[in-house]
């Protein structure tokens, strides 16, 4: 399978397109004026406790107070009254799990997770998980054993939790061990910062989209990673040299006069996908509506009437 990643930078936004066999598969957009805050960690202050909702509002320095439910404070707290867990004026270390939307503030958790190239670190979670996309059982056991072996059962990090990411498949032991050491060091620095800053304050901000793409989406099988900004390309090169050297040969600066998203008709595909009505190859179409509570996707067969029976028609439309 031929796979490429295109990274388009402008003063207003950064866009990423994942191309497989010449077809657009994924698009990611990050606007500079309104970057998402999911994954950011804050030292916040509880401003209101709501016993009737088993929840609280937390000031993290944004325009609207953020929201945290009792079950997101700690796993064992789901049955405890929120008033026994939090009090007004209390400082609390939280991570954003959902961006603000409409009149609603951000959604929070105290169950912190920090991502690196091969692992997601969960302080105090006492759990080792492996990505479901790693299907080989022997490989799953191998990398799980490496991580377990790197955790000192009698040391201060005995209760650490980790999720082993898909890109860790086939990685040598030192790659995982270096990630564990890096994440523990980072967590120690975040704790030090949290104890010294004025509340509310940001403690940790996730990487910008271009670098997150190299960390989270790119893998050694990607043939090319094309970037149309010289500055972004230089930052990406430095990032790759330090953290993901296996991607170095795939990085490529794209100086062409033709816009990078005109390659593979990415721009046209984006415009089609962003419409409320999205046509499908079969003749069917999607209707997409977003509200504060949910995003609904209505799948319609449209002009596609199938060949054999209704079940096959619906199945093929859903596949499309």
pLDDT tens track for 210-226 = 999 998 899 888 999 99
Matching CATH topology for 3-35+208-263 and 41-111? no
Asked whether the predicted pLDDT for residue 31 surpasses 70, the reply is yes
- Regarding pTM above 0.85, the answer is no
Neighbours of 7 (CB within 10 A): 25
Spatial CB neighbours of 99, under 8 Å, sequence gap ≥ 6: 36, 37, 38, 106
As to burial, measured by CB atoms within 10 angstroms (0-12 exposed, 13-18 middle, 19+ buried), residue 124 is middle
CA distance 209 to 214: 9
Measured distance CA(238)–CA(232) in Å, rounded: 10
Q: What is the mean pLDDT of residues 288-309?
A: 77
In angstroms, the Cα distances linking 228 to 40, 71, 132, 253, 268 are 27, 44, 34, 6, 18
β-bridge partners, 130: 164
The domains of the chain are located at 3-35+208-263, 41-111, 114-196, 275-319
| Phi, psi angle pair for 258, to nearest 5° | -75, 130
Q: 41-111 has which CATH code?
A: 2.40.50.140
CATH number of 3-35+208-263: 3.30.420.60
Is residue 245 very low, low, confident or very high in pLDDT (cuts 50, 70, 90)? confident
- At 108 the three-state DSSP class reads strand
- What average pLDDT does range 59-68 have in this prediction? 94
Residues 6+ apart with CB under 8 A from 114: 41, 120, 121, 183, 186, 187, 190, 204
Distance CA 280, CA 285 (A): 5
């Amino acid at each position: 399978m031929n796979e490429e990643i295109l990274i388009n930078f402008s003063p207003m936004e950064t866009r990423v397109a994942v191309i497989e066999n010449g077809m657009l598969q994924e698009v990611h957009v990050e606007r500079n004026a309104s970057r998402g805050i999911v994954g950011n960690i804050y030292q916040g202050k509880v401003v209101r406790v709501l016993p009737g909702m088993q929840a609280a509002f937390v000031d993290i320095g944004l325009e609207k107070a953020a929201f945290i439910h009792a079950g997101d404070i700690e796993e064992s707290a789901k049955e405890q009254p929120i008033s026994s867990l939090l009090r007004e004026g209390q400082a609390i270390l939280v991570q954003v799990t959902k961006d603000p939307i409409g009149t609603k503030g951000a959604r929070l958790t105290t169950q912190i997770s920090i991502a690196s190239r091969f692992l997601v670190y969960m302080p105090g979670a006492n759990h080792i998980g492996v990505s479901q996309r790693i299907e080989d059982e022997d490989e799953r056991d191998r990398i799980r054993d490496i991580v377990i072996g790197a955790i000192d059962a009698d040391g201060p990090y005995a209760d650490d939790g980790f999720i082993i990411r898909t890109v860790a498949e086939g990685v040598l032991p030192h790659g995982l061990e270096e990630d564990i050491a890096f994440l523990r060091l980072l967590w120690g620095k975040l704790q030090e910062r949290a104890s010294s800053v004025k509340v509310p304050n940001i403690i940790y901000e996730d990487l910008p989209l271009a670098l997150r793409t190299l960390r989270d989406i790119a893998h050694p099988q990607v043939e090319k990673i094309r970037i149309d900004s010289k500055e972004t390309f230089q930052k990406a090169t430095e990032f790759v040299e330090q953290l993901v050297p296996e991607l170095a040969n795939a990085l490529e600066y794209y100086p062409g006069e033709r816009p990078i998203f005109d390659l593979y008709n990415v721009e046209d595909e984006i415009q089609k996908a962003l419409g409320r009505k999205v046509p499908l190859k079969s003749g069917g179409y999607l209707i997409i509506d977003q509200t504060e509570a949910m995003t609904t996707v209505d799948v319609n067969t449209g002009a596609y009437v199938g060949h054999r029976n209704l079940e096959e028609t619906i199945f093929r439309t859903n596949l499309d």
